[in-house]
Amino acid sequence: MTAPQPGPNSFPDLVELDALRLTVIVDNEVDFMTSVPQELGLTTQAMSLFRDKRNIDKEKSTEAIEDHHTHTHHGRSTNSATRTIAFDFHDGRQALTNYGSFSLIEQTGIKGNVEHRILFDTGPHSAIFLENAKRLEIEFEKIEVVVLSHWHIDHSGGMLAAVEKIHEARKKNQELPPVSVDLHPDRPDQRGTCLTRLSAGISPNLIEYVAWGKDPSFEGIEKAGGKVSLNNQAHTVCEGFFGVSGLIPRNTTYETGIPNHTRWHEKTKSWTLEPEIMDERYLVARVKSKGIVVLTGCSHAGVINVCQDVKRAFNQEQSDEVFFVVGGFHLAGGSVEARIKETVNDMLALNPSFMAPGHCSGWRAKAALEEAMPGKVVSLGVGSDFFITEKI
């Protein structure tokens, strides 16, 4: 008997922000060149380095001269000042790509003079996360909450290092509380993939599994300095600046999870199939005059199920359309690429203003979405810095 579907998530105390900044720390890709709509206020990491005043080439610049109206530079008469930035392709501040979830920091909500910052996922690897955070000059002491989208090592692998770094930065100011780590309570012993095709009526001699690394434990997170907060219901954090979903309703007929996904049970020393990955959660923020920004870790529940749930959650507010969908759409791989056509059709009906598929989305899905919805698919990569504000 099929379990009844839960009602839509609800975020009644989610506040309307004046602006929202999203900075990508970890992702599979980097793209410093593709143009982005003005409404998303994107600044790539490369552009930030282009404008970095610390790299001014004084030999090729004239702006330091007080009289900017007319002056001579290297024998040439000019009517305006010039500035030249010395860009080094070996600059140690250029972030690195790495397989795994994107992490969003300086996911900064701004309302009046108040700001709140959170981190959404931490990627698969501590070293890459910390190195990219260093190169992107992340201000760890300002991070108040870490939200884990779901228990998968490619999203939680950098968790302990991130929490420890935030803890160290925040404890220097005794007025700052410990960082809160928002987690789903159903932490698996371990997860993995079944490599063997299991057909009805066929009993293979050998069933092969791949065991992924273990997610950090609640105790380990507390030891690193985080304050664990377990949530399986929709709720908000940071004075209502951000909403974290509970269970995502599964209503579409084709978004049926990951067929070969498995779960290890330490007590029975056995694997079981677990295609649904029910602990997955999404994140939302509301930006004045723009609408809802949706962040997905992997969309194991299906990106259409996610977006439809968001639409239901805000169906009383006519102005609250889905403005921007960012994250993993999980449409890469032979077991899920057959869903691309139906996903595109349903996304056309949902009609978000923009989408930034990353991580596990795959180029086929990106190409299909762009073909169906020209100009609405935005490049997502390490170092991308989106700034969404009512003023644009």
Here the CATH number for the domain that contains residue 124 is 3.60.15.10
The reply to whether 4 falls in a domain is: no
Backbone angles phi, psi at 221, to 5 degrees: -65, -40
Residue 71 has pLDDT above 50, yes or no: no
pLDDT grade for 335, boundaries at 50, 70 and 90: confident
The answer, yes or no, to whether residue 101 has pLDDT greater than 90, is: no
Is a pLDDT exceeding 80 seen at residue 344?
yes
Contact indicator for 156, 182 with CB cutoff of 8 Å: no
Judge whether 246 lies within some domain: yes
Q: Which of 76-85, 87-96, 130-139, 254-263 has the highest mean pLDDT?
A: 254-263
The tokens for 263 are 């779960």
Query: What pLDDT score was predicted for residue 343?
Result: 98
pLDDT score recorded for residue 60: 63
> Looking at the domain assignment, is residue 269 inside a domain?
yes
Query: Does the residue 12 lie in any domain?
Result: no
Task: With respect to residue 245, please indicate whether it lies within any of the assigned structural domains.
Answer: yes
pLDDT band at 70 (very low <50, low <70, confident <90, very high): very low
Residue 50 has pLDDT above 60, yes or no: no
More confident residue, 215 or 91: 215
pLDDT of residue 34: 73
Q: Which pair of tokens denotes residue 387?
A: 């700034």
Please tell me the total count of domains within the chain.
1
**Cα–Cα distance measured from residue 121 to residue 62, given in angstroms and rounded to the nearest whole number:** 44
> Is the model's pLDDT at 244 over the cut of 70?
yes
Report the DSSP pairing between strands 261-265 and 270-273.
antiparallel
Q: How confident is the model at residue 69 (pLDDT cuts 50, 70, 90)?
A: very low
pLDDT for 68 equals: 43
Domain range for residue 161? 26-59+92-389
Rounded to the nearest angstrom, the gap between the alpha carbon of residue 238 and the centroid of all alpha carbons in its chain is: 18
Per-residue pLDDT, 123: 87
| pLDDT tens, position by position, 267-323 | 999 999 999 999 999 999 999 999 999 999 999 999 999 999 999 999 755 557 999
pLDDT beyond 60 at 45: no
Rounded to whole angstroms, the maximal C-alpha distance in the chain is: 87
The chain-wide mean pLDDT, for the chain, equals: 86
pLDDT for 328 equals: 93
Task: Report if residue 10 sits inside a domain.
Answer: no
Residue 338 confidence (pLDDT): 95
Position 198 pLDDT exceeds 80:
no
- What's the pLDDT score for residue 55? 63
Confidence category of residue 40, pLDDT binned at 50, 70, 90: confident
Please tell me which of 64-68, 199-203, 282-286, 333-337 the model is most confident about, judged by mean pLDDT: 282-286
Q: Is 299 part of a structural domain of the chain?
A: yes
The pTM assigned to this predicted structure is: 0.86
* Structure token pair of residue 84: 């030249």
Stretch 21-25: mean pLDDT: 91
Asked whether residue 19 is assigned to any structural domain, the reply reads no
Which of these ranges, 22-26, 44-48, 286-290, has the smallest mean pLDDT?
44-48
